[in-house]
Chains A and B, each alone.
Chain A
Amino acid sequence: MAEVRLKDVSKIYDGKVKAIDSVSIEIYDKEFVVLVGPSGCGKSTLLRMIAGLESISDGDIYIDDNLVNELSPKDRDIAMVFQNYALYPHMTVYENMAFGLKIRKFKKEEIKKRVEHASDILDLEELLHRKPKALSGGQRQRVAIGRAIVRKPKIFLFDEPLSNLDAKLRVQMRTEISKLHHRLGATIVYVTHDQIEAMTMGDKIVVLKDGIINQISAPMNLYNHPANKFVAGFIGSPAMNFIRGKIISDSELFFVSTDNLIKIALLTEQQEILKKYTNEEVTIGIRPENIIPSKLINENSYKITTTLDVVEPMGNETIIYFKMGENKMIARIQSGEVLRVNQSFELLINLEYLHFFDGKTEKVIE
């Protein structure tokens, strides 16, 4: 049983800069929670506060109902994996993994057993007598994870552990950490700025911006039902397309873009929701995969004819960049025909998947 509860936690630097602003999160036993957000959003600060490496300006942190605000890191029963591995350069892999147990005065046999078990899980048996400088990036990260595993902590904390690895290794380590989570049944708090890592690994994602939680939700729910424009734009790659405009009433409700070049007749259920926004500013959002070639006939759609600015064939799909009115748009379409830059192309926007955001608060309109 290992739960973490953050209650109105804040971090203020020098009495002025609010790095974390009244954050409350509940992390349940065996849950894999990802803290995600752009650089400087406070996600690493929050993780360091859970670890006890950063003091708390306000609020409470509980681990298994124990208030840990004043507890030092060693007494919190946590283990942390750092972005740059943080292996002790003067120790071998074995010594690195055993160090925390030695400090805690574990018996030699127990230390040996635990290190061997962890090295077996992580495939490190052959590397136990090497120093960190003789290891590759991926191996170093595995040792860093091993160092956490041997401790059998209540909570595992990961601070952007894959950022220093190359793309291929990152994908491999991503699956390894996910497997490890299921194998150990561990409670994990994982920080990343990579929304793909967040989507693929987390049971629950916490999206942070400027020290404030924007949304806490399961990955797919976050993707399909973003709470605001920031979350909608941050989660998903390529990012969601946005068009600013107004809702106008002309026998029925329409969305008209700010440049007056786009006029979309809204679906019946959308009209119901947007009635109170008549003559108000609204931003619509549409994901790149919800813009489809016009030959794939769709009833509830808005047809546009455009010229392709950039074409990026990815093999299984093609990313196309084009303009809709004055708005730069991206669509992700199935690879079929060969597309060229400056080619005229007809596309359909699937209106069923439109997201609407309040023009002022940027909150989703539901």
Chain B
Amino acid sequence: MKKLLFYFCLTISALIFLYPFLWMISASLAPESEIGNLFALPSSFSLHSYLSMFNKIPIGRAFVNSMIVASSITFGVLLTGSIVGYALSRLQFKGRDLIFYIIIFTMTLPFQITLIPQYIIMVKFGWVDTYLALIAPYMINALSIIMFRQYFKTIPQDLIDAARIDGCGDFRIVFRILWPNSIPAIVTIGIITFMASWNEVLWPLIVIRDESLMTMPQLVTLFAVGGRAESQLGVKLAAAVMLALPIIIVYLFFQKYFIQSMTSTGIKD
């Protein structure tokens, strides 16, 4: 009985979280006149909102832009995070711990504080309205460094020593020995980074004005709050579904690691 009540509560909670999302998909496929109905399924399904949305905004181009930006950032973060994480976990040098504490400190700074200086740097570099403005500032982050550092600490020192005797330098140790043995950390950091950069809106809104360079969330946000949707809720919802779709696909593929990423403390099993 207790178990039954427990499952009942869980089901209700799941429905509360899931319902808005299911409604969004259902409404995006419904005729415009039936969108106001919050509970019943539409009388007919149509792709009209999607076709209309495709005609109004370059969502395909934005998807490609988002893929380029999110993939480059993810790759960059994995590369830099693992290199710095290795240095902080395995190399001996003066000030190592101080550097680590400074990196942790940067995590406490909200994005809004660095927003303006970062924008000024982009202007000075002439990177505004280029991919570089979207990618370069995010190529390294504290969370990935900390997670890699913690994970690498769990790998036996003997393995690294053996590689050194076999003739490996530090980069070979990171990419030939540590990477293949840190798949859970790589996937976890990869998913977190990819999701964060995919969903980023504020920064692209500041540095990108050229529509052909806009990322999906930026384009969808401008579309939803700007006048181009012509107050049609269906097309806005269709755009929102398109925005969420890649993340859902990523989630389905890496579900196991995704959950791990939310609970992981960097400790190896």
**In the bound complex, what is the Cα–Cα distance between A209 and B72 (angstroms)?**
55
CB-contact partner of B165 in A51, A84, A90, under 8 A: A51
- Asked if A89 meets B165 with Cβ closer than 8 Å, knowing A82-B158, A83-B158, A103-B172, the reply is no
A100 closest partner in B (C-beta): B166
Contact residues, A89-117 vs B (CB, 8 A): 89-90, 99-100, 103-104
Whether the Cβ atoms of A104 and B180 lie closer than 8 Å is: no
Q: Is A169 part of the contact surface with B, judged by Cβ < 8 Å?
A: no
Q: Is A73 part of the contact surface with B, judged by Cβ < 8 Å?
A: yes
Whether the Cβ atoms of A74 and B166 lie closer than 8 Å is: yes
CB-contact partner of A78 in B159, B165, B168, B180, under 8 A: B165
Complex interface: chain B residues within 8 A of A80 (CB): 161-162, 165
Complex interface: chain B residues within 8 A of A147 (CB): 162, 166
Whether the Cβ atoms of A90 and B166 lie closer than 8 Å is: no
Total number of A-B contacts with CB less than 8 angstroms? 52
Whether the Cβ atoms of A86 and B164 lie closer than 8 Å is: no
- Shortest Cβ gap from A306 to chain B (Å): 48
**In the bound complex, what is the Cα–Cα distance between A88 and B163 (angstroms)?**
9
User: How many residues of chain A have a CB within 8 Å of chain B?
Assistant: 22
Q: Is A79 part of the contact surface with B, judged by Cβ < 8 Å?
A: yes
- Asked if A103 meets B166 with Cβ closer than 8 Å, knowing A84-B156, A86-B156, the reply is yes
Q: Is B25 part of the contact surface with A, judged by Cβ < 8 Å?
A: no
Whether the Cβ atoms of B158 and A73 lie closer than 8 Å is: no
Binary CB contact string for chain B from 179 to 197 against chain A (1 if under 8 A, 0 otherwise): 0110000000000000000
**In the bound complex, what is the Cα–Cα distance between A219 and B88 (angstroms)?**
44
Whether the Cβ atoms of B162 and A82 lie closer than 8 Å is: yes
Complex interface: chain B residues within 8 A of A53 (CB): 161, 164-165
Binary CB contact string for chain B from 234 to 262 against chain A (1 if under 8 A, 0 otherwise): 00000000000000000000000000000
A103 closest partner in B (C-beta): B167
CB-contact partner of B181 in A48, A79, A90, A104, under 8 A: A90
Whether the Cβ atoms of A103 and B158 lie closer than 8 Å is: no
**In the bound complex, what is the Cα–Cα distance between A73 and B158 (angstroms)?**
13
CB-contact partner of A74 in B156, B159, B167, under 8 A: B167
**In the bound complex, what is the Cα–Cα distance between A90 and B159 (angstroms)?**
12
Whether the Cβ atoms of B167 and A79 lie closer than 8 Å is: no
- Shortest Cβ gap from A312 to chain B (Å): 37
**In the bound complex, what is the Cα–Cα distance between A73 and B170 (angstroms)?**
12
**In the bound complex, what is the Cα–Cα distance between A87 and B166 (angstroms)?**
11
Q: Is B177 part of the contact surface with A, judged by Cβ < 8 Å?
A: yes
Whether the Cβ atoms of B168 and A74 lie closer than 8 Å is: yes
A81 closest partner in B (C-beta): B162
Complex interface: chain A residues within 8 A of B167 (CB): 74, 100, 103-104
**In the bound complex, what is the Cα–Cα distance between A72 and B177 (angstroms)?**
18
Complex interface: chain A residues within 8 A of B166 (CB): 74, 99-100, 103, 147
**In the bound complex, what is the Cα–Cα distance between A74 and B168 (angstroms)?**
8
Most A Cβ at <10 Å: residue of B158, B159, B164: B158
- Shortest Cβ gap from A15 to chain B (Å): 13
- Asked if A82 meets B161 with Cβ closer than 8 Å, knowing A74-B167, A74-B168, A103-B172, the reply is yes
B92 closest partner in A (C-beta): A55
Complex interface: chain B residues within 8 A of A87 (CB): 162
**In the bound complex, what is the Cα–Cα distance between A73 and B161 (angstroms)?**
9
A148 closest partner in B (C-beta): B165
Whether the Cβ atoms of A86 and B161 lie closer than 8 Å is: yes
Complex A-B: 7 CB contacts under 8 Å: A53-B164, A86-B161, A87-B162, A99-B166, A103-B167, A103-B168, A147-B162
Identify the 7 closest CB pairs spanning chains A and B, nearest first: A100-B166, A103-B167, A86-B158, A90-B180, A86-B162, A74-B167, A82-B158
